[in-house]
Amino acid sequence: MHRFFKRNNLIIGILMGVLLGGIVGSLFPETGTKLGFLGTLFLNALKMIVIPLIIVSITLSIMKVGNIGSLGLKALAYYLVTTAIAVFIGIVIVTIIQPGVGSDVFTGGMPEVIKGKENLRVVHLIQTLITPNLFKSAAEFQILPLIIVSIIFGAAFASLGKESKLALDILNLINKAIMKIVHWIIIFTPIGIFGLIANRLGLAGGGSEVMSLIMELGKYVLSVILGLFIHGFFVLPTILFIFAKRNPIDYISKLSEAIFTAFATASSSATLPITMRGVIDDAKISQKIGRFVLPLGATINMDGTALYEAVAVIFIAQSYGIQLGMGELIIVFVTANLAAIGAAGIPEAGLVTMVLVLQAVGLPLEGIGLILAVDWLLDRFRTAVNVWGDCVGAAVLDRFEYDETIHDEKISLAGSG
Ligand code: ASP
């Protein structure tokens, strides 16, 4: 009971943070940016803890699960299917609404964010999987190579059998300490979210500026948000209900801290500590599953980003007056999936990997300039859907494992009888 009230207070605090941040940033942009340091402190605290959290939780999870192969494959299958559904929704919506048709092309050259990335290829993304320098990867917030190293360490410890007991005890203890710190950081979520939102709206010049920005690209913004809405509020809850047998309203309310933090930080990776706490502690998904699939999901499972990439690229084509045929739409479908997997869980990463999709269908990279102005805003919505997709995935995989355990137990009972 006591904990329930404490959580409710936190959620009310977060909602106040979003609201006040929105009001201050909209009406008093300068004050908003001045108060931005509150958001930076919060974000720094999350980033500080996320690297140790990932390394310890993945290593522990591999040591405990032993053979991670089947869980890993199931996770990948879930990610691929849900991301593909998201891209499909994006393609259908942008084709129906046609936000780019009739719009004037007004790009001003190659956007800064993609300079030097013009030759990005899938093989470049694959190359980064194995890092020559762990510290550099950690410092640059490249999560995927760290996940891979942690899997290797976990497997190595597991292969040592009883000898690794000491390592297991130490890692368990470190993990407990990390989760304690995460708990402390979460107390500051309302203030942090307030600072992040007030600052971002302030940087954009306040509410009226943001409104005129949205109006300019209104149909495009609407297409992305509508697609995300359908995926986040219909598709994912249906999957949760059918496959994880959980009540979607109850589950989303338990994860509201994580979803709001994703919105405020625009980073799935920075949100990870809060996602893990919500999924494991509040929604009671088994640690074994959550510790492995959540860090992996935060890095490669991005439904919102995939949907957004498809909408954005087709919008760019429409704006240039280029009609994409069925074959090209299929190429957009495949590459948008890849681009979402390759995007890091950091702000506006999807904008960079969009280069892959544009190049695949031969569209000018300058087209990114068309959507740049509103990207920071759409990034928040898609990151929230990315994190929500990870949480739903954890519940589904947890259920599958649970069913399998029962099944295995039945077989062994039958065998022993
Ligand atoms: N910001 C997104 C995330 O962290 C990635 C992107 O779409 O830019 O999940």
Mean of the per-residue pLDDT values of the chain = 90
CA of 306 to the centre of ligand 1 (A): 10
Host domain of residue 213: 2-408
How many angstroms from the chain centroid is the CA of residue 350? Answer: 11
Task: Evaluate whether residue 275 is within a structural domain.
Answer: yes
**pTM (two decimals):** 0.90
Residue 417 is predicted with a pLDDT of 42
Residue to probe by mutation, ligand 1, list 351, 383, 391, most atoms within 8 Å of CB: 383
Taking only the tens place, the pLDDT of each residue in 268-319 is: 999 999 999 999 999 999 998 999 999 999 999 999 999 999 999 999 999 9
How far apart are alpha carbons 334 and 84 in whole angstroms? 8
35 lies in a domain? Answer: yes
Query: Mean per-residue pLDDT for 224-246?
Result: 97
Q: Do residues 382 and 307 touch, judged by C-beta distance below 8 A? A: yes
- Residue 373's φ and ψ, nearest 5 degrees, are -60, -35
Task: Indicate whether 134 belongs to any domain.
Answer: yes
Please give the tally of structural domains in the chain.
1
Query: Secondary structure of the chain: what % helix, strand, coil (to 5)?
Result: 85, 0, 15
Which spans in 188-267 are helix H? 189-203, 207-216, 218-230, 236-243, 248-254, 256-265
Assess whether the C-beta atom of 318 lies below 6 angstroms from ligand 1. Answer: no
- The verdict on the CB of residue 349 being under 6 Å from ligand 1 is yes
Would 417 be classed as within a structural domain? no
* CATH number for position 79: 1.10.3860.10
Asked if 112 and 329 count as a contact pair (C-beta separation under 8 A), the reply is no
User: How much is the average pLDDT of 71-94?
Assistant: 95
Which residue has better confidence, 106 or 281?
281
With the most atoms of ligand 1 within 8 angstroms of its CB, the residue from 263, 271, 302 to mutate is 302
Per this entry, what is the length of the chain?
Answer: 417
CB count in 10 Å sphere of residue 412:
10
In a domain, 127, yes or no: yes
Residue 85 has pLDDT above 50, yes or no: yes
The two tokens of residue 177 are 């300490």
Phi, psi of 115 (to 5 degrees): -60, 135
In a domain, 415, yes or no: no
Structure tokens at 50: 């996320």
The residue ranges of DSSP E strands in 248-360, in sequence order, are none
Q: Is 322 contained in some domain?
A: yes
Residue type for 80, please? Answer: L
pLDDT-derived band at 415 (thresholds 50, 70, 90) equals low
Q: Is residue 26, in this structure, part of any structural domain at all?
A: yes
| Range with lowest mean pLDDT among 98-102, 242-246, 373-377, 395-399 | 98-102
Q: Is the CB of 341 under 6 A from ligand 1?
A: no
Q: Determine the Cα–Cα distance for residues 140 and 351; give it in Å rounded to an integer.
A: 18
